Amino acid sequence: MDKITLAHGGGGKRTRELISNLFLKYLGNPYLKILTDGVNLGDLKRTVVTTDGFVVDPLFFPGGNIGKLAICGICNDLAVMGAKPKFITMNFIIEEGFLTLDLEKIIKSIASEAKSAGIDIVAGDTKVVPKGHGGGIYISGTGVGEMVYKNDLPGKIKEGDLVFVNGSIGDHSAALLVARNDFKLSSKLKSDCQNIYPEIKNLLDKSKEVKFLRDITRGGLAAILNELAEYASCGIEIAENSIPFKKEVLSLCAMLGYDFLTLACEGRFLAVIDANDEKIALSMGLTKIGAITDNHKKVVLKTKIGGERVIDLPDGELLPRIC
């Protein structure tokens, strides 16, 4: 079986071979092996559910692939709700002719990330579409988590609360731009694709004053900050010289005309924390980039040269298929 054929999506012998020889081989567990259409997860307290889809291009990129991205993306959506990822269901839409070897690499990555995160793939589905009607492979999934944070997220945000991020911004978008080779550029940049739950769990264990968490994906910081301002009906002031960026990312933005604030990440989060816990956040390696204000209802960037710039929601598609 060198390539996926339409017969692999037909529900018969070839489908069973695909499931047994690849999916169950790497992802098998007591929940999945029974091959029913649904699964009983038992009793969960304070359940959190999320769903997501992944159409990244290229499928393999520096720092990950679509399989790793799917697990990390779903885990991260649960983590920023204060929930421990427990279970994931996955749906694979595979294009006819897709290399079995590449599919195996993707499934291995899924298995590795799931094991590292301590989660089970408990149900799934596979469909095959005719050649030319898909981007190689698309993955969608639903994640189920259990709340570990006693306070509600998002919480009540007030003036003086501080805004933090957990690392350099825009690495994922920049790495994909280079990997696509549209501009004949070379770089050692890698995607920041990672499961942020362990970092968030550590933060929530140490601080009981976390008001807001959001993973920084499509739309970048600009989108998340505007969503925060709208949710809390507040203003936000951010210092440009406090935002962590790699030099390569800023150079790429300058060269191609991209706004660095709109670049997506896949392993970064934004947190709003009470000023009383600033030392806790800083001791964990978080970077303070700004604060909440009642002086206005906008997102304002304090520039390096002493000016101010209002940051609006991004308009249009900056970079298609980044996740």
The full set of domain ranges for the chain reads 6-147, 162-310
- What is the structure's pLDDT at 183? 67
Collapse the DSSP code of 13 into the 3-class scheme (helix H, G, I; strand E, B; otherwise coil) and give the result: helix
Whether the pLDDT of residue 10 is over 90: the answer is no
List residues bridging with 144 in a β-sheet: 49, 87
> If you average pLDDT over residues 303-317, what whole number do you get?
88
Whether the pLDDT of residue 41 is over 70: the answer is yes
What pTM, to 2 d.p., does this model score? 0.92
- What is the structure's pLDDT at 317? 65
Whether the pLDDT of residue 185 is over 80: the answer is no
HSE-up of 314 (CA within 13 Å, CB side)? 20
pLDDT: is 13 or 251 the higher one? 251
pLDDT tens digits, residue range 259-292?
999 999 999 999 999 999 999 999 999 999 999 9
Burial class, 66, CB count within 10 angstroms (exposed 0-12 / middle 13-18 / buried 19+) = buried
CA 317 distance to own-chain centroid: 17
- Which CATH number is correct for 6-147, 3.50.50.60, 3.40.50.720, 2.60.40.1120, 3.30.1330.10? 3.30.1330.10
User: Which of 108-112, 185-189, 204-208 has the least mean pLDDT?
Assistant: 185-189
The answer to whether the CB of 19 falls within 8 A of the CB of 126 is yes
- Measured CA angle at 239 (ends 238, 245), to 5 deg: 105
List residues bridging with 129 in a β-sheet: 95
The answer to whether the CB of 109 falls within 8 A of the CB of 12 is no
- What is the structure's pLDDT at 296? 95
The answer to whether the CB of 187 falls within 8 A of the CB of 178 is yes
Q: What is the percentage of the chain residues whose pLDDT exceeds 90?
A: 75
> If you average pLDDT over residues 246-257, what whole number do you get?
91
Instruction: For the beta carbon of residue 252, count every other beta carbon within 10 angstroms.
Output: 23
The answer to whether the CB of 304 falls within 8 A of the CB of 294 is no
The answer to whether the CB of 87 falls within 8 A of the CB of 120 is yes
CA 236 distance to own-chain centroid: 23
Instruction: For the beta carbon of residue 285, count every other beta carbon within 10 angstroms.
Output: 10
Which amino acid appears at position 39 of this protein? V
Whether the pLDDT of residue 16 is over 90: the answer is no
> If you average pLDDT over residues 133-144, what whole number do you get?
95
Distances (CA, A) of 33 to 20, 38, 107, 142: 9, 12, 16, 18
> If you average pLDDT over residues 134-153, what whole number do you get?
90
CATH architecture of residue range(s) 162-310: Alpha-Beta Complex (3.90)
